Amino acid sequence: AQSVTQPDIHITVSEGASLELRCNYSYGATPYLFWYVQSPGQGLQLLLKYFSGDTLVQGIKGFEAEFKRSQSSFNLRKPSVHWSDAAEYFCAVGYQAGTALIFGKGTTLSVSS
Amino acid sequence: DARVTQTPRHKVTEMGQEVTMRCQPILGHNTVFWYRQTMMQGLELLAYFRNRAPLDDSGMPKDRFSAEMPDATLATLKIQPSEPRDSAVYFCASGQGDRQYFGPGTRLTVT
């Protein structure tokens, strides 16, 4: 069965510092991988997605993620965090386009000044 | 910007009452999903539809939950009777192809 693990429940990063949020998935083939962000009281917004091709994908708001098949990972990165990035981040996997997603439990990002 | 809309945004009800949540997907999207978010379980799929036909409702307690798409512009999720353990945020998402667009959610509290 597919599963997604986000090992870090809560991360605090200083404003301007770099960020990496970890995501590991369990799936037999190459899945469709997504990162979403959720601000308090809001729905989920897609940051980026990976299906195939270049393993480094660029997303919105300056985020990027790298797919590493050997590690079954899809970590999210940002070189310089802004206070407005404080939110909850979800990694998700789907087995094909247009199907339901399986989400990780999320990582809450706090940004300190 | 086209958006998924959900009503109501908040609902407080007593145990045993019927609850109906509504979702208007983005026009032209052929897939609609219902997810539930709780602190303990995170985000879980309840059901989803493609071209208004149910494809998967395995995540939904069948004895009390029902999901329908009366037409292409409306999806409903009904709980009857509601229980305190149903307290959660219920998200609707619509999609076309590889992207899913989420609504703002309905926060349900069952007392």
| Chain mean pLDDT for chain A | 93
Phi/psi for B86 (5° steps) reads -80, -5
Tokens of B5: 């809309």
| Chain mean pLDDT for chain B | 95
Q: Closest Cα to residue B29, out of B89, B98, B78, B106? A: B98
CA distance B103 to chain A (A): 6
Residue B109: count other Cβ atoms within 10 Å of its Cβ. Answer: 13
Between A43, A98, A100, which is nearest B104 by CB? A43
CA distance B48 to chain A (A): 7
- What letter represents residue B57's amino acid? D
Q: Which residues in chain A touch residue B95, judged by CB atoms under 8 angstroms apart?
A: 98
Q: What is the mean pLDDT of residues A16-41?
A: 91
Q: Does B103 touch chain A (CB under 8 A)?
A: yes
pLDDT over 90, % of chain B:
89
Strands in B65-71's sheet, in edge-to-edge order, are B5-7, B19-24, B74-79, B65-71
pLDDT in tens, A43-90: 899 999 998 888 999 999 999 999 999 999 999 999 999 999 999 999
Report A:47-86 residues touching B (Cβ under 8 A).
49, 51
Yes or no, beta carbons of A98 and B102 under 8 Å apart: no
Yes or no, beta carbons of A100 and B56 under 8 Å apart: yes
Identify the pLDDT of residue B98.
82
The answer to whether the CB of B44 falls within 8 A of the CB of B33 is: no
Q: Is the pLDDT of residue A30 over 90?
A: no
CA-based nearest residue in chain B for residue A39: B104
Identify the pLDDT of residue A27.
79
Cα A52 from Cα A77, distance rounded (Å): 19
Q: Is the pLDDT of residue B99 over 90?
A: no
Cα–Cα distance list, A10 to A22, A29, A51, A77, A89 (Å): 11, 29, 27, 15, 10
Yes or no, beta carbons of B97 and A49 under 8 Å apart: no
